[in-house]
Amino acid sequence: MIPLSWYLLVAAALFCIGLYGVFARRNAVAILMAIELMLNAVNINLVAFWRYVTPEESTGMAWAVFVLTVAAAEAAVGLALVISVYRNRDSVVADDLDLMKN
Amino acid sequence: MTEQTLTTLTWLIPAGPLLAFFLIVLFTNRSRTLSWVLAWAGVFMALVLAWTVAINTIATDVHHLEEHPTVVHDAIEWLPVGDYFEGTWVEIGIAVDPLTSIMLIMVTFTITMIFIYSVGYHNWGAPLGKILGVPNHLQEEPLLSRFFAFMSLFAGGMLLLVIAGDLLLLFIGWEIMGFCSYSLIGFWYARDYHLKPDDIPHIPPRKAGIKAFLTTRIADVVMLLGIVFFYSVFGTLNFADALSAESLAHAAMTVGAVALGVMSLLLFAGTVGKSAQWPLHVWLPDAMEGPTPVSAVIHAAAMVSAGVYLIIRIFPLIAVGMGPQGSPMVGVIIAGIGAFTALMAATIAVAQNDVKGVLAYSTISQLGFMVAAIGTGAYVAAAFHLITHGFFKALLFLASGSVIHGMEHGAHEVHDHHTDPQDMRFMGGLRKKMPATFWTFLIGGLALSGFPFITAGFWSKDEIFADAWHQWSREGDILALTVFVMLAVAAFLTAFYTMRQISLTFLGKPRSPLAEHAHESNGFMTIPLVLLSVFAIAVGWSGIPETFPILGPLVNNNFFHHFAGSTIYETLFELSELNLVDSAIITLPFDVAPLGTSLLVALGGLFIGWWIYGRKPLKEGQIDPLVRPLGPLYTFLNNKWYWDELYQFLFIRPTVYLSERVVYEIIDKGIIDGTLHLIGRSVYRLGYYVKRFEERVISGGVDWLKDQFLAIAKEFRYLQTGRVQEYALISTLIATALIAVILLINYGWLARLF
């Protein structure tokens, strides 16, 4: 059986990729996608811990389902914001959206 | 009629005029016609109700009345006193007894006549006068609504007073009339006089109103003391309860009859003011500045009668006060003031030239007769003279108003606006021009002078004389004799000045173009004159003594004496048994001496008056025939004994001096203003320093703080790059660092480091 740490490593890697995406990508849509990556990394953790630590209770799986739901809602709101920003400013580049500078 | 109905009707007597007042003031004041119609409706209603109630009393058997004089009585709880829960209340209520009934008949009738007359007097229907607050001759009075509103209120106040069953309601009516007299005397508020140096000084209406109000106020304060005293002794203000024989006997035992005498003198002070007795008589002559119907209503029907009515009402109290256990000084003071006033005012009236001035002093004089009668214990005589005087003096005033009206008419026709239309020296010959006014004036004048056997004034004056004479001849009362002599002289002078007035006004030839062009007044004015003159004669017949030869038994067995006397008959009878009063009301035996005196002074006065003034009427410009023989005395009388000047010197000048020099200069400007200025300056100084502190410390400090924050903010704004990813990075790094620290602490690594 594959040890728990392997899943955790995969999840950590996925989370770091997501984090890197959030910090480094210029496109707002890409940033949103990176956030989704981080959420899914969390999901892997949840499911893995459930399976290895408390398989008799379904708490971890239930949590994962909640996170998926929240992620979907968040993606919808986020994309709507991006579209709205695009309509107003003809750009979805995060660095251009500096109305709050200084 | 049931007692319940009578009670309701009695309560409603003053309601008509009072309602008319409110309706006129609130709603109809724009329509002069509607206003006087309403005022008429109010007094007619009062007339009908009052006569119904009064006739019901008159129809009651006199012997029954003697035992139960109060036919109607009712009271409502008005003012809680002491402990509320004990249910002690000051009550106000009404009572109708024989005295009330005869007053109701006189008051409502004369007031109604005066209301009718007023419409004509103010030229209703003529073109509207333009100037407010002055007499508009021959034009309709622009303030007619106001006039009728106040007259209605006045009538309401008088009727309240008459039906009052206690001192409180009486005092309310009393004060309503006080206020109305002020506003009605000053009705022509914008009128001013430009006196020549040798004119007799007289004051404009607005000042006359204030004078009347203030003078009566002095008396009312004392009277209020009397009311308080009354309440503290009897525990009630109700006349019937407090002035019953039982209650008076009890009071005489606890506080003493002399204290009751003092109480009656305190209340009598109210009469001195209201009924214009010396020394407070000075307001009444100046009150002639009001329109003539006002003079009639104040000086005949209502206000001055109220004063005498009060002392007749409280007569049992006065009787105990001056009775065997009281002090004779009470009688001396009351009778003395009355007799002195009667004589003094009569002498002044002899030398007056103003047609209303003569009547004003004659009113004071006649009221003196009544007061003197009360002072000698002649209860019925005072009441009788009050009633007859009410009728004939109202008649005389209204007739004199008609004369003035005619003279003003003449003045208008000849365009003479400088001659005084009230001055009798410019009249004469009006008999032909104004026949109705002449005949009615003559009847009123004869009644005033006491023309024998026919007129009302003769019988009422005769009764006063008879009472005083009886008092002297039976009991050797020197006071009664003095009063008798003084009143006889006053009655002689009354007849004399009345004849003088009639001669100067109506006889001979006109002494000015005004009189030449005068003519008779309209029907509104002459009809009330005729109706009043009927009463000025006929009322006297109700009081012919039954002991009087021939006429007495023939007419009615002295109805008035028994009827009015029944009000306090029982009370006085019981009190005399307790030896608290001298004598009960008795039927006087016939005596030639007072009758002879009465005849002599009336006929003698009239004859001498006619001899001097009527036989050879004055020519135009001729001076008064009395001026030369009387010399300085005439000037003294013409100037009204200089009472006004004396009061000016004794009271007004010191008061003005005190207020101007002492109170104003020293207390107000020096002490009060000085203190205020000191406080003001100190506060100003303090404020200056507070302002400096505010500027420097508070305002400066806040500014400094603000500058510091701004400077810091300027530096920090550069942190705000506006790049969302940078923020995310920084917050992630900080979060990571924090987590790292927490982990380190958790595992104890931090401790291991050190």
**Residue B118, both tokens:** 């007023």
**Is A44 a residue whose pLDDT tops 90?**
yes
Residue type, B274: K
Q: Is B720 on the interface with A (CB under 8 A)?
A: yes
What value does the mean pLDDT of chain B take? 87
pLDDT in tens, B476-488: 778 888 888 999 9
- Residue B155: closest CA among B21, B349, B17: B17
B671: which residues sit within 8 A by CB, 6+ positions away? none
Per-residue model confidence (pLDDT) at position B112: 93
Per-residue model confidence (pLDDT) at position B617: 80
**Residue B285, both tokens:** 């002559």
Q: Which residues on chain B are in Cβ contact (under 8 Å) with A31?
A: 725
**Secondary structure of B138-198 in HEC code, one letter for each residue:** CCECCCHHHHHHHHHHHHHHHHHHHHECEHHHHHHHHHHHHHHHHHHHCCCCCCCCCCCCC
pLDDT band of B265, cuts 50, 70, 90: very high
Residue type, B366: Q
Query: Cβ–Cβ of A94/B724 closer than 8 Å?
Result: yes
| Percentage of residues of chain A with pLDDT beyond 70 | 99
Per-residue model confidence (pLDDT) at position B493: 92
Query: Cβ–Cβ of B722/A100 closer than 8 Å?
Result: yes
Per-residue model confidence (pLDDT) at position B287: 87
**Is B124 a residue whose pLDDT tops 80?**
yes
Per-residue model confidence (pLDDT) at position B552: 66
Per-residue model confidence (pLDDT) at position B84: 63
User: What does residue B95 show for φ and ψ, rounded to 5 degrees?
Assistant: -155, 140
The CA–CA distances, whole Å, from B199 to B42, B109, B231 equal: 42, 38, 49
Segment B521-526 shows an average pLDDT of: 86
Per-residue model confidence (pLDDT) at position B132: 85
Per-residue model confidence (pLDDT) at position B553: 66
- Which of B180-189, B327-336, B677-686 has the largest mean confidence? B677-686
Domain contains B729: no
Query: Cβ–Cβ of B722/A101 closer than 8 Å?
Result: yes
Q: Is A19 on the interface with B (CB under 8 A)?
A: yes
Q: Is A100 on the interface with B (CB under 8 A)?
A: yes
Which range is least confidently modeled, B25-39, B99-113, B233-247, B559-573? B559-573
**CA torsion angle for B479, B482, B488, B491 (degrees, to 10)?**
-70
ipTM associated with this complex: 0.82
Q: Is B717 on the interface with A (CB under 8 A)?
A: yes
- Same domain as B663, residue B554: no
Smallest Cβ–Cβ distance between B722 and the set A19, A23, A99 belongs to A99
**Residue A65, both tokens:** 């389902």
Interface size between A and B, measured as CB pairs under 8 A: 31
Per-residue model confidence (pLDDT) at position A18: 93
B325: which residues sit within 8 A by CB, 6+ positions away? B252, B256, B257, B258, B579, B580
Query: Greater confidence, B687 or B301?
Result: B687
Secondary structure class of A95 (helix, strand, coil): helix
Query: Cβ–Cβ of B725/A100 closer than 8 Å?
Result: no
Secondary structure class of B81 (helix, strand, coil): coil
Query: Cβ–Cβ of A102/B729 closer than 8 Å?
Result: no
The CA–CA distances, whole Å, from A79 to A29, A68, B202 equal: 7, 16, 104
Residue B677: exposure state from Cβ atoms within 10 A (0-12, 13-18, ≥19): exposed
Per-residue model confidence (pLDDT) at position A40: 93
User: How many residues are listed for chain B in this entry?
Assistant: 754
Distance, in Å, from the CA atom of B172 to the CA atom of B529, rounded to the nearest integer, reads 31
Segment A35-61 shows an average pLDDT of: 90
Residue type, B312: I
Q: What angle do CA B472, B483, B603 make, to 5 degrees?
A: 100
pLDDT in tens, A1-11: 788 999 999 99
Full domain range(s) for residue B710: 648-719
Per-residue model confidence (pLDDT) at position B347: 92
Asked if B238 and B299 count as a contact pair (C-beta separation under 8 A), the reply is no
| Percentage of residues of chain B with pLDDT beyond 70 | 96
Distance, in Å, from the CA atom of B626 to the CA atom of B606, rounded to the nearest integer, reads 15
Per-residue model confidence (pLDDT) at position A57: 85
Q: Which residues on chain B are in Cβ contact (under 8 Å) with A99?
A: 722
- Residue B566: closest CA among B126, B184, B7, B67: B67
Q: What angle do CA B223, B100, B383 make, to 5 degrees?
A: 75
Per-residue model confidence (pLDDT) at position B425: 84
Per-residue model confidence (pLDDT) at position B88: 77
**Is B240 a residue whose pLDDT tops 80?**
yes
**Is B586 a residue whose pLDDT tops 70?**
no
- Same domain as B663, residue B569: no
* Boundary residue ending a domain (B607, B638, B669): B638
pLDDT band of B587, cuts 50, 70, 90: low
pLDDT in tens, B710-724: 999 988 888 788 788
- Same domain as B353, residue B320: yes
- Same domain as B497, residue B613: yes
Distance, in Å, from the CA atom of B436 to the CA atom of B48, rounded to the nearest integer, reads 27
- Which of B61-70, B73-82, B596-605 has the largest mean confidence? B596-605
User: How many residues are listed for chain A in this entry?
Assistant: 102
Q: What is the largest CA-CA distance in chain A?
A: 55
Query: Cβ–Cβ of A23/B725 closer than 8 Å?
Result: yes
Domain contains B725: no
**Is B515 a residue whose pLDDT tops 90?**
no
Q: Which residues on chain B are in Cβ contact (under 8 Å) with A85?
A: none
Q: Is B739 on the interface with A (CB under 8 A)?
A: no
Per-residue model confidence (pLDDT) at position B340: 93
What chain A residue is nearest to B717 in terms of C-alpha separation? A102
| Strands B72-80, B89-96: pairing kind | antiparallel
pLDDT band of B557, cuts 50, 70, 90: low
**Is B561 a residue whose pLDDT tops 70?**
yes
- Same domain as B108, residue B87: yes
> Looking at the 3D structure of chain B, how many domains does it have?
2
Asked if B186 and B205 count as a contact pair (C-beta separation under 8 A), the reply is yes
- Same domain as B652, residue B628: no
Query: Cβ–Cβ of B718/A102 closer than 8 Å?
Result: yes
Q: Which residues on chain A are in Cβ contact (under 8 Å) with B721?
A: 98, 101-102
- Residue B167: closest CA among B305, B310, B265: B310
Smallest Cβ–Cβ distance between A23 and the set B718, B721, B728 belongs to B728
**Is B337 a residue whose pLDDT tops 90?**
yes
Q: Which residues on chain B are in Cβ contact (under 8 Å) with A24?
A: 725
pLDDT band of B629, cuts 50, 70, 90: confident
pLDDT band of B424, cuts 50, 70, 90: confident
Smallest Cβ–Cβ distance between A23 and the set B717, B720, B729 belongs to B729
Segment B519-541 shows an average pLDDT of: 87
| Percentage of residues of chain B with pLDDT beyond 90 | 34
Per-residue model confidence (pLDDT) at position B753: 67
Distance, in Å, from the CA atom of B659 to the CA atom of B384, rounded to the nearest integer, reads 46
pLDDT in tens, B72-93: 888 888 887 776 666 678 888 8
**Residue A30, both tokens:** 């890409």
- Residue B127: closest CA among B32, B191, B28: B32
**Is B754 a residue whose pLDDT tops 70?**
no
Distance, in Å, from the CA atom of B13 to the CA atom of B162, rounded to the nearest integer, reads 10
What chain A residue is nearest to B732 in terms of C-alpha separation? A19
Per-residue model confidence (pLDDT) at position B111: 93
Asked if B608 and B629 count as a contact pair (C-beta separation under 8 A), the reply is no
User: What does residue B538 show for φ and ψ, rounded to 5 degrees?
Assistant: -70, -30
Per-residue model confidence (pLDDT) at position B83: 66
Domain contains B137: yes
What chain B residue is nearest to A20 in terms of C-alpha separation? B729
User: What does residue B687 show for φ and ψ, rounded to 5 degrees?
Assistant: -60, -35
Segment B447-453 shows an average pLDDT of: 87
Asked if B298 and B216 count as a contact pair (C-beta separation under 8 A), the reply is no
Query: Cβ–Cβ of A98/B722 closer than 8 Å?
Result: yes
**Residue B467, both tokens:** 């009472």
Q: What is the DSSP letter of B326?
A: S
B697: which residues sit within 8 A by CB, 6+ positions away? none
Q: Which residues on chain B are in Cβ contact (under 8 Å) with A101?
A: 720-723
The CA–CA distances, whole Å, from A4 to A68, B214, B605 equal: 22, 115, 149
Closest CA of chain A from B702, distance in Å? 26
Per-residue model confidence (pLDDT) at position B329: 87
pLDDT band of A100, cuts 50, 70, 90: confident
Q: Is B5 on the interface with A (CB under 8 A)?
A: no
Domain contains B210: yes
Smallest Cβ–Cβ distance between A101 and the set B721, B728, B729 belongs to B721
Domain contains B443: yes
- Same domain as B255, residue B111: yes
**Is B246 a residue whose pLDDT tops 70?**
yes
Secondary structure class of B73 (helix, strand, coil): strand
- Same domain as B652, residue B634: no
- Residue A37: closest CA among A24, A54, A53: A24
- Residue B102: closest CA among B385, B443, B454: B385
pLDDT band of B539, cuts 50, 70, 90: confident
- Which of A80-94, B348-362, B458-472, B676-690 has the largest mean confidence? B676-690
What chain B residue is nearest to A35 in terms of C-alpha separation? B728
Domain contains B278: yes
- Same domain as B540, residue B581: yes
pLDDT in tens, B138-185: 888 888 999 999 999 999 999 999 999 889 999 999 999 999 999 999
pLDDT band of B17, cuts 50, 70, 90: very high
Q: Is B752 on the interface with A (CB under 8 A)?
A: no
Query: Cβ–Cβ of A22/B721 closer than 8 Å?
Result: no
Distance, in Å, from the CA atom of B21 to the CA atom of B155, rounded to the nearest integer, reads 10
B260: which residues sit within 8 A by CB, 6+ positions away? B233, B248, B251, B252, B317, B320, B321, B326
Per-residue model confidence (pLDDT) at position B584: 64
Closest CA of chain A from B710, distance in Å? 14
